[in-house]
Amino acid sequence: MIIVTGASRGIGNYLFRYYRENQTDSQVYGTCHSAMAEDPNISQINIENSEQVDEWSKSLLLNKPSELTLINCAGVNNNAMAHKAAVEDWQSVINVNLLGTYNVIRSFLPYMREVGHGRIVNFSSVVAEKGVPGTSAYAASKSGMWGLSRAIAAENGAKNININSINLGYSDIGMGIDEINEDLKQIITKNIPARRFCQPEEILDTVEFLRKVAYINGTSISLSGGLV
Ligand SMILES: NC(=O)c1ccc[n+]([C@@H]2O[C@H](COP(=O)([O-])OP(=O)(O)OC[C@H]3O[C@@H](n4cnc5c(N)ncnc54)[C@H](OP(=O)(O)O)[C@@H]3O)[C@@H](O)[C@H]2O)c1
């Protein structure tokens, strides 16, 4: 079984659609939040709500999959300088990106441990490494994922479960890409050693790599075209 959170838009939608179309022998499920579900296998879930997440995961696990991949794409951003940010906005980024991701992982982990198989891929960001003005909440939530992954890897490595993060740079799909005008895109591109944004296929290849190589555990991969 493959589960993709944030399947209504951007990267999650791309990965969900890819697996739905190409994984004939595997069940593929996803989540949306504010958007309407575009596929019968997508459920409307607020990952901040652990009870809702648990109920949803229980219903999927009735299918008794022998293998389980969880791809955590659901996330939000809220740009504000730290000295001006509203506490509620700051908190809500942490609640979705960090606590929400934990809620989802937590709800599938006992089953993964039981069947002795689990692949967990989280989406972090180069923003967490780089220090970008206006991103204190987002960066905190994304660097929090590294510690979360390391601890969960240490707890579950012996059960054939791996958990890693992709530290993504600028991608051609998803978060805010439609709001970046051509001029700004060119300025950003000049600062990326690869001189281009990440392509969806490169994200998919990285996810597949982490799914295949169980021995990679508790770490993160920079997918940033050399941007640090
Ligand atoms: N795109 C990039 O360049 C980039 C770069 C670095 C890191 N990332 C990370 O990669 C991941 C995917 O990014 P993206 O660009 O594809 O994002 P996106 O296009 O903004 O999509 C975000 C997804 O998260 C869902 N979501 C938001 N709040 C939620 C909640 N409370 N409960 C459940 N789902 C919720 C949204 O659902 P609805 O639409 O239904 O509300 C949507 O499906 C994110 O974690 C992001 O931080 C992206």
Domains of the chain: 2-223 (3.40.50.720)
Active site residues: 138
Could you tell me if the CB of 165 is within 6 A of ligand 1?
no
Distance set, CA 105 to CA 75, 152, 153, 172 (Å): 14, 9, 12, 27
- Quote the pLDDT of residue 24: 72
pLDDT at 227 (0 to 100): 94
Question: Ligand 1 centroid to 32 CA: how many Å?
Answer: 10
CB of 72 closer than 6 angstroms to any ligand 1 atom: no
Residue nearest to atom 44 of ligand 1 (CA): 75
Q: Which residues pair with 29 in a beta bridge?
A: 3
- Calculate how far, in angstroms, residue 158's C-alpha sits from the geometric centre of ligand 1: 31
- 141 CB contacts (<8 Å, ≥6 apart)? 75, 93, 94, 96, 97, 98
Q: Give residue 202's pLDDT.
A: 98
Ligand 1: does its nearest atom lie under 6 Å from the Cβ of 48?
Answer: yes
**pLDDT attached to residue 180:** 85
CA of 215 to the centre of ligand 1 (A): 27
Contact (Cβ atoms closer than 8 angstroms) between residue 228 and residue 191 = no
pLDDT in tens, the chain (228 residues): 999 999 999 999 999 999 999 987 779 999 999 999 999 999 999 999 999 999 999 999 999 999 999 999 999 999 999 999 999 999 999 999 999 999 999 999 999 999 999 999 999 999 999 999 999 999 999 999 999 999 999 999 999 999 999 999 999 999 878 888 889 899 999 999 999 999 999 999 999 999 999 999 999 999 999 998
